[in-house]
């Protein structure tokens, strides 16, 4: 890519002439002069120099988009030529939320590395906004998430598996005596008995007066939990609002002070405990798909394609 494009793109990323100049190892006056030369050439300003931090103009946004297209073409070309050999090397960058980074990816990567030990895999933890930005700017090759739509025009999705949201309730609570026919234990979840059609779904209305641990607004599990409660005719009384499901799980487990909507994959991957019992919920709202996703039209390396194939077969 031409130096002037690289320099302007660095200014855009750093949102500062001085920071960009430092990163590019050139003087700020020289960098400013180069940008002015480009602006004079195209006849429009690329940056609004009155804003802090620096922002791009309408014309600047178009210029940056063109630069990103060029970067993607260069990246795809490089990946293509790197892939002409056998799959005995390669690099994959995978992004996921903390849950998948902790419970799903380590096992998949471990098994994959047994087969392809020379392939280097980097994992980046982030929220869905950060992960999508990583795909967009090509710093991430592949993401694993639930909050992905098959209809997203910018993504190519690959169905991994479904997960199921259960209600976890402290086992010492008296309400459990009334609901014995609906109860599931840790061992039941581990054996996937909750997926059997003969296991009854509990009515959430039974828990309308109990305290809840909920995810914070904006999280897909918060949305689903709220929808489940509203369908049962109430709004949950939240006494803990959390960012991470593992935090909520441990609060429920050790304080035994509230109920919580919990992922079955978490229970399956956790150590056995008898402090909580579990209830199957309305299947339509409690079932959600997990997807791998890549940026549309992005060239996927042989290593990345093989990891996808390997993971989807598990």
Whether residue 122 sits in one domain with residue 192: no
- For residue 199, name the pLDDT band (cuts at 50, 70, 90): very high
Quote the pTM value.
0.73
pLDDT of residue 88: 66
Residue 291 near residue 229 (C-beta atoms within 8 A): no
The last residue of a domain, from among 52, 81, 110: 81
pLDDT recorded at residue 110:
95
Q: Where does a domain end: 24, 55, 81?
A: 81
Distance between CA 260 and CA 168 in Å, rounded?
5
Residue 218: pLDDT above 70?
yes
Q: How many domains does the chain have?
A: 3
CA–centroid distance for 84 within its chain: 31
- Res 1 pLDDT > 60: no
Beta-bridged to residue 263, according to DSSP, are 165
Q: 146 and 51: one domain? A: no
CATH number reported for the structural domain that contains residue 10 in this entry: 1.10.10.10
Q: Are 167 and 222 found together in one domain?
A: yes
CB neighbours of residue 271 within 10 Å: 5
Q: Are residues 170 and 150 in the same domain?
A: no
15: domain range?
3-81
Whether residue 164 is predicted with pLDDT greater than 90 in this model: the reply is yes
pLDDT averaged over every residue in the chain: 91
- CA-based radius of gyration for the chain: 25
Shared domain for 176 and 275, answered yes or no, is yes
Q: Is residue 126 within 8 Å of residue 134, measured between CB atoms? A: yes
**pLDDT at residue 100 above 90?**
yes
Which of the listed residues 46, 81, 116 is the one where a domain comes to its end? 81
Residue 84: pLDDT band with limits 50, 70, 90: low
- 155 and 302 belong to one structural domain: yes
Per-residue pLDDT, averaged over 279-304, amounts to 92
DSSP notation for 277-304: EEE---HHHHEEEEEEEEETTPPPPHHH
Q: Is there a single domain that holds both residue 134 and residue 47?
A: no
Furthest-apart CA atoms within the chain: distance in Å:
78
**CA atoms of 24 and 16, how far apart (whole Å):** 12
Residue 81's pLDDT band (cuts 50, 70, 90): confident
- Specify whether 219 is located in the same domain as 231: yes
Number of neighbours of residue 207 by Cβ within 10 angstroms: 21
Q: pLDDT value at position 3?
A: 82
Q: Are residues 109 and 245 in the same domain?
A: no
Token pair in block for residue 61: 């946004």
Residue 91 pairs in a beta bridge with 120
Q: How high is the pLDDT of residue 68? A: 86
Residues 185, 262 within the same domain = yes
| Per-residue H/E/C for 83-135 | CCCCCCCCEEEEEECHHHHHHCHHHHHHHHHHHCCCCEEEEEECCHHHHHHHH
Same domain, 55 and 121: no
pLDDT at residue number 74: 83
Residue 71's pLDDT band (boundaries 50, 70, 90)? Answer: confident
Domain CATH number, residue 296: 3.40.190.10
User: 255 falls in which pLDDT band (50, 70, 90)?
Assistant: very high
Q: Tens digits of per-residue pLDDT, 140-156?
A: 999 999 988 888 889 99
* Cβ neighbours of residue 127 closer than 8 Å, sequence gap 6 or more: 97
For residue 215, pLDDT over 70 is answered with yes
| Model confidence at 87: pLDDT above 80 | no
Instruction: Check residues 1 and 36 and name the one with the higher pLDDT.
Output: 36
Q: Tell me, yes or no, whether 262 and 304 share the same domain.
A: no
């Amino acid at each position: 890519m031409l130096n002037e494009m690289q320099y302007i793109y660095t200014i855009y990323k750093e949102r500062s002439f001085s920071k960009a100049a430092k990163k590019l190892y050139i003087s700020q006056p020289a960098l400013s002069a180069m940008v002015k030369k480009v602006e004079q050439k195209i006849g429009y300003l690329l940056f609004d120099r009155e804003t802090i931090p620096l922002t791009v103009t309408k014309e600047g946004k178009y210029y940056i988009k063109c630069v990103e297209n060029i970067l993607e073409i260069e990246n795809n070309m490089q990946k293509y030529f790197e892939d002409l050999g056998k799959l005995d090397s390669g690099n994959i960058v995978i992004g996921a939320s903390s849950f998948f980074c902790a419970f799903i990816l380590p096992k998949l990567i471990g098994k994959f590395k047994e087969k392809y030990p020379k392939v280097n895999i980097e994992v980046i933890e982030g929220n869905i906004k950060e992960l999508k930005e990583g795909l967009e700017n090509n710093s991430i090759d592949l993401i694993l998430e639930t909050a992905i739509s098959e209809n997203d025009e910018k993504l190519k999705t690959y169905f991994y598996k479904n997960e199921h949201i259960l209600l976890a309730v402290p086992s010492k609570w008296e309400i459990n005596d009334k609901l014995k026919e609906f109860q599931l234990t840790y061992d039941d979840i581990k054996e996937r008995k909750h997926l059997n059609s003969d296991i009854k779904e509990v009515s959430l209305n039974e828990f309308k007066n109990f305290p809840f641990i909920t995810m914070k607004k904006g999280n897909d599990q918060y949305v689903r939990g709220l929808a489940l409660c509203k369908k049962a005719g109430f709004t949950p009384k939240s006494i803990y609002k959390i960012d991470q499901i593992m935090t909520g799980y441990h609060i429920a487990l050790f304080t035994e002070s509230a109920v919580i909507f919990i992922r079955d994959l978490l229970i399956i991957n956790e150590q056995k405990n008898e402090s909580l019992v579990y209830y199957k919920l309305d299947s339509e709202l409690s079932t959600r798909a997990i997807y791998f996703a890549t940026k549309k039209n992005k060239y996927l390396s042989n290593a990345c394609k093989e990891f996808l194939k390997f993971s989807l077969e598990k």
